[in-house]
Amino acid sequence: MNAEEAERARERLFLAFELYAAGEAMMSQNLRRRHPAASDAEIEERLHRWLESSDSER
């Protein structure tokens, strides 16, 4: 892999991490809207359960 290919790979990986973080933030906001009385810990738990269920379906 030459330097140009390595840089493109690095950029794609960075973009993938940014997209993952954005998706996680959007789902967290969605859960907050659906469960307004839930504590931060409950939202975090729901988010983790959602992520785990998404992983097992792939």
pLDDT (tens digit per residue) in 6-44: 999 999 999 999 999 999 999 999 999 999 999 999 999
Q: State which residues form the domain around 37.
A: 23-58
In a domain, 35, yes or no: yes
Confidence bin at 1 (pLDDT 50/70/90) = confident
In a domain, 16, yes or no: no
Number of domains, the chain: 1
**Are the C-beta atoms of residues 27 and 50 closer than 8 Å to each other?**
yes
Q: Is a pLDDT exceeding 80 seen at residue 55?
A: no
In a domain, 53, yes or no: yes
Identity of the residue numbered 27: M
Handedness of CA 48, 51, 57, 58 (dihedral sign): negative
Predicted TM-score of the model (pTM): 0.77
Q: Is a pLDDT exceeding 60 seen at residue 58?
A: no
Confidence bin at 56 (pLDDT 50/70/90) = low
Give the contacts of 31 (CB within 8 A, at least 6 positions apart): 38, 43, 46, 47, 50
